[in-house]
Structure 1
Protein backbone atom coordinates (compact mmCIF):
# COMPACT_ATOMS: atom_id res chain seq x y z
CA UNK A 1 0.00 0.00 0.00
CA UNK A 2 1.24 3.49 -0.86
CA UNK A 3 2.98 5.27 1.99
CA UNK A 4 0.73 7.81 3.65
CA UNK A 5 -2.37 5.64 3.18
CA UNK A 6 -3.42 3.57 6.13
CA UNK A 7 -5.73 0.59 5.99
CA UNK A 8 -8.35 2.25 8.19
CA UNK A 9 -8.72 5.37 6.06
CA UNK A 10 -8.62 3.28 2.87
CA UNK A 11 -11.32 0.97 4.18
CA UNK A 12 -13.44 3.96 5.22
CA UNK A 13 -13.08 5.59 1.78
CA UNK A 14 -13.95 2.31 0.05
CA UNK A 15 -16.97 1.75 2.29
CA UNK A 16 -18.19 5.30 1.64
CA UNK A 17 -17.80 4.85 -2.11
CA UNK A 18 -19.52 1.46 -1.86
CA UNK A 19 -22.45 2.98 0.06
CA UNK A 20 -22.77 5.67 -2.63
CA UNK A 21 -22.73 3.02 -5.36
CA UNK A 22 -25.46 1.04 -3.59
CA UNK A 23 -27.61 4.17 -3.28
CA UNK A 24 -27.10 4.92 -6.96
CA UNK A 25 -28.04 1.36 -7.90
CA UNK A 26 -31.23 1.57 -5.84
CA UNK A 27 -32.15 4.90 -7.42
CA UNK A 28 -31.42 3.73 -10.97
CA UNK A 29 -33.35 0.50 -10.37
CA UNK A 30 -36.37 2.56 -9.31
CA UNK A 31 -35.94 4.77 -12.38
CA UNK A 32 -35.67 1.76 -14.70
CA UNK A 33 -38.73 0.15 -13.15
CA UNK A 34 -40.60 3.42 -13.62
CA UNK A 35 -39.64 3.60 -17.29
CA UNK A 36 -40.61 -0.03 -17.81
CA UNK A 37 -43.94 0.48 -16.02
CA UNK A 38 -44.63 3.60 -18.09
CA UNK A 39 -43.89 1.76 -21.32
CA UNK A 40 -46.18 -1.13 -20.34
CA UNK A 41 -49.09 1.21 -19.72
CA UNK A 42 -48.39 3.07 -22.97
CA UNK A 43 -49.60 1.92 -26.35
CA UNK A 44 -46.48 3.35 -27.98
CA UNK A 45 -44.95 1.25 -30.71
CA UNK A 46 -41.18 1.66 -30.23
CA UNK A 47 -40.56 1.01 -33.89
CA UNK A 48 -43.12 3.33 -35.48
CA UNK A 49 -44.18 5.88 -32.88
CA UNK A 50 -41.81 8.83 -32.28
CA UNK A 51 -42.70 8.75 -28.56
CA UNK A 52 -41.91 5.03 -28.46
CA UNK A 53 -38.36 5.70 -29.60
CA UNK A 54 -37.94 8.14 -26.72
CA UNK A 55 -39.15 5.53 -24.22
CA UNK A 56 -36.81 2.91 -25.69
CA UNK A 57 -33.89 5.34 -25.57
CA UNK A 58 -34.63 6.28 -21.97
CA UNK A 59 -34.89 2.63 -20.97
CA UNK A 60 -31.57 1.83 -22.67
CA UNK A 61 -29.89 4.86 -21.11
CA UNK A 62 -31.00 4.02 -17.56
CA UNK A 63 -30.11 0.34 -18.07
CA UNK A 64 -26.62 1.37 -19.19
CA UNK A 65 -26.15 3.64 -16.17
CA UNK A 66 -27.34 0.83 -13.91
CA UNK A 67 -24.86 -1.61 -15.46
CA UNK A 68 -22.06 0.89 -14.88
CA UNK A 69 -23.06 1.38 -11.25
CA UNK A 70 -23.08 -2.39 -10.74
CA UNK A 71 -19.58 -2.64 -12.25
CA UNK A 72 -18.41 0.12 -9.90
CA UNK A 73 -19.83 -1.76 -6.93
CA UNK A 74 -18.04 -4.94 -8.04
CA UNK A 75 -14.79 -2.98 -8.45
CA UNK A 76 -15.15 -1.56 -4.94
CA UNK A 77 -15.83 -5.02 -3.51
CA UNK A 78 -12.70 -6.29 -5.26
CA UNK A 79 -10.73 -3.36 -3.78
CA UNK A 80 -11.96 -4.27 -0.31
CA UNK A 81 -10.81 -7.85 -0.91
CA UNK A 82 -7.37 -6.56 -1.98
CA UNK A 83 -7.26 -4.50 1.21
CA UNK A 84 -8.04 -7.63 3.26
CA UNK A 85 -5.22 -9.61 1.66
CA UNK A 86 -2.73 -6.74 1.74
CA UNK A 87 -2.42 -5.99 -1.99
CA UNK A 88 -4.54 -2.82 -2.03
CA UNK A 89 -2.54 0.15 -3.33
CA UNK A 90 -0.16 -2.02 -5.34
CA UNK A 91 -0.29 -1.93 -9.14
CA UNK A 92 -1.44 -5.24 -10.57
CA UNK A 93 0.82 -4.78 -13.62
CA UNK A 94 4.15 -3.46 -12.40
CA UNK A 95 3.92 -4.11 -8.66
CA UNK A 96 4.79 -0.53 -7.73
CA UNK A 97 2.71 1.47 -5.25
CA UNK A 98 -0.34 3.31 -6.59
CA UNK A 99 -0.05 6.97 -5.53
CA UNK A 100 -2.35 8.02 -2.71
CA UNK A 101 -3.69 10.84 -4.90
CA UNK A 102 -4.89 8.29 -7.49
CA UNK A 103 -6.51 6.13 -4.81
CA UNK A 104 -8.21 9.20 -3.35
CA UNK A 105 -9.80 9.97 -6.73
CA UNK A 106 -10.34 6.36 -7.80
CA UNK A 107 -10.40 4.14 -4.69
CA UNK A 108 -10.90 0.97 -6.73
CA UNK A 109 -7.83 1.59 -8.91
CA UNK A 110 -5.94 -1.60 -9.77
CA UNK A 111 -3.05 0.05 -11.62
CA UNK A 112 -0.71 2.99 -11.21
CA UNK A 113 -1.03 5.98 -13.52
CA UNK A 114 1.79 4.80 -15.83
CA UNK A 115 0.28 1.34 -16.33
CA UNK A 116 -3.24 2.75 -16.74
CA UNK A 117 -2.17 4.96 -19.65
Structure 2
Protein backbone atom coordinates (compact mmCIF):
# COMPACT_ATOMS: atom_id res chain seq x y z
CA UNK A 1 0.00 0.00 0.00
CA UNK A 2 1.13 3.53 -0.56
CA UNK A 3 1.44 6.27 2.02
CA UNK A 4 -1.26 8.28 0.23
CA UNK A 5 -4.51 7.60 2.14
CA UNK A 6 -6.78 8.14 -0.89
CA UNK A 7 -4.77 5.72 -3.06
CA UNK A 8 -4.67 3.19 -0.24
CA UNK A 9 -8.41 3.58 0.29
CA UNK A 10 -9.07 2.99 -3.42
CA UNK A 11 -6.89 -0.15 -3.38
CA UNK A 12 -8.68 -1.46 -0.28
CA UNK A 13 -12.07 -0.72 -1.84
CA UNK A 14 -11.10 -2.65 -4.98
CA UNK A 15 -9.89 -5.55 -2.87
CA UNK A 16 -13.10 -5.45 -0.83
CA UNK A 17 -15.19 -5.44 -4.02
CA UNK A 18 -13.31 -8.50 -5.34
CA UNK A 19 -13.67 -10.29 -2.01
CA UNK A 20 -17.37 -9.46 -1.85
CA UNK A 21 -17.86 -10.88 -5.37
CA UNK A 22 -15.98 -14.01 -4.30
CA UNK A 23 -18.26 -14.38 -1.25
CA UNK A 24 -21.35 -14.00 -3.45
CA UNK A 25 -20.07 -16.69 -5.84
CA UNK A 26 -19.30 -19.04 -2.94
CA UNK A 27 -22.77 -18.46 -1.49
CA UNK A 28 -24.25 -19.36 -4.88
CA UNK A 29 -22.12 -22.51 -5.09
CA UNK A 30 -23.15 -23.53 -1.59
CA UNK A 31 -26.82 -22.89 -2.35
CA UNK A 32 -26.52 -25.00 -5.53
CA UNK A 33 -24.88 -27.80 -3.59
CA UNK A 34 -27.68 -27.78 -1.01
CA UNK A 35 -30.30 -27.85 -3.76
CA UNK A 36 -28.53 -30.68 -5.58
CA UNK A 37 -28.24 -32.76 -2.44
CA UNK A 38 -31.93 -32.25 -1.62
CA UNK A 39 -33.05 -33.47 -5.03
CA UNK A 40 -30.69 -36.45 -5.03
CA UNK A 41 -31.28 -39.67 -3.17
CA UNK A 42 -27.71 -40.83 -3.72
CA UNK A 43 -25.85 -42.49 -0.89
CA UNK A 44 -22.98 -40.03 -0.92
CA UNK A 45 -21.39 -41.54 2.17
CA UNK A 46 -20.54 -44.69 0.20
CA UNK A 47 -19.84 -43.18 -3.21
CA UNK A 48 -16.68 -44.75 -4.66
CA UNK A 49 -16.33 -41.86 -7.11
CA UNK A 50 -14.84 -39.43 -4.63
CA UNK A 51 -15.67 -36.97 -1.90
CA UNK A 52 -19.03 -36.88 -0.21
CA UNK A 53 -21.53 -34.08 -0.55
CA UNK A 54 -21.11 -33.43 3.16
CA UNK A 55 -17.34 -33.03 2.67
CA UNK A 56 -17.84 -30.63 -0.26
CA UNK A 57 -20.37 -28.66 1.77
CA UNK A 58 -17.93 -28.43 4.70
CA UNK A 59 -15.13 -27.25 2.41
CA UNK A 60 -17.29 -24.60 0.74
CA UNK A 61 -18.57 -23.42 4.11
CA UNK A 62 -15.01 -23.09 5.45
CA UNK A 63 -13.86 -21.09 2.43
CA UNK A 64 -16.95 -18.87 2.64
CA UNK A 65 -16.34 -18.25 6.35
CA UNK A 66 -12.73 -17.25 5.63
CA UNK A 67 -13.89 -14.92 2.85
CA UNK A 68 -16.41 -13.28 5.17
CA UNK A 69 -13.66 -12.81 7.80
CA UNK A 70 -11.50 -11.17 5.12
CA UNK A 71 -14.37 -8.80 4.31
CA UNK A 72 -14.64 -7.86 7.97
CA UNK A 73 -10.86 -7.27 8.14
CA UNK A 74 -11.02 -5.04 5.08
CA UNK A 75 -13.87 -3.07 6.65
CA UNK A 76 -11.70 -2.52 9.75
CA UNK A 77 -8.83 -1.38 7.51
CA UNK A 78 -11.12 1.07 5.71
CA UNK A 79 -12.31 2.49 9.04
CA UNK A 80 -8.64 2.81 10.01
CA UNK A 81 -8.00 4.94 6.94
CA UNK A 82 -10.93 7.16 7.94
CA UNK A 83 -9.80 7.59 11.54
CA UNK A 84 -6.06 7.76 10.81
CA UNK A 85 -5.12 4.49 12.53
CA UNK A 86 -4.41 2.49 9.36
CA UNK A 87 -0.83 1.25 9.22
CA UNK A 88 -0.26 1.69 12.97
CA UNK A 89 0.26 -1.44 15.07
CA UNK A 90 -2.60 -2.02 17.52
CA UNK A 91 -0.19 -3.38 20.14
CA UNK A 92 2.95 -1.24 20.09
CA UNK A 93 1.66 1.83 18.19
CA UNK A 94 4.59 1.74 15.78
CA UNK A 95 4.12 2.02 12.01
CA UNK A 96 3.47 -1.25 10.21
CA UNK A 97 6.09 -1.60 7.44
CA UNK A 98 4.81 -0.94 3.91
CA UNK A 99 6.01 -4.40 2.82
CA UNK A 100 3.70 -6.03 5.37
CA UNK A 101 0.77 -3.89 4.27
CA UNK A 102 1.45 -4.84 0.65
CA UNK A 103 1.42 -8.51 1.57
CA UNK A 104 -1.50 -8.22 3.96
CA UNK A 105 -3.43 -4.95 3.45
CA UNK A 106 -5.66 -5.60 6.45
CA UNK A 107 -2.74 -6.16 8.86
CA UNK A 108 -3.40 -4.61 12.27
CA UNK A 109 -0.11 -5.48 13.90
CA UNK A 110 3.54 -5.19 12.94
CA UNK A 111 5.53 -8.36 12.27
CA UNK A 112 7.17 -8.32 15.71
CA UNK A 113 3.84 -8.11 17.54
CA UNK A 114 2.17 -10.62 15.22
CA UNK A 115 4.93 -13.15 15.89
CA UNK A 116 4.41 -12.83 19.65
CA UNK A 117 0.88 -14.21 19.48
What TM-score does the superposition give when structure 1 sets the normalisation length? 0.89
Could you tell me which of 3, 8, 11 is aligned with 1:10?
8
Unaligned stretches of 5+ in structure 2? none
Name the residue aligned to 2:86. Answer: 88
- Between the two proteins, the alignment pairs up a number of residues equal to 114
Name the residue aligned to 2:22. Answer: 24
Distance 1:43 1:49 in 2: 12
Deviation for aligned residue 1:49:
3.2
Distance 2:55 2:67 in 1: 18
Instruction: Give me the CA root mean square deviation.
Output: 1.9
What TM-score does the superposition give when structure 2 sets the normalisation length? 0.89
Which of the pair has the greater relative contact order for Cα pairs under 8 Å at 6+ separation?
1
Deviation for aligned residue 1:106:
0.8
Deviation for aligned residue 1:50:
2.9
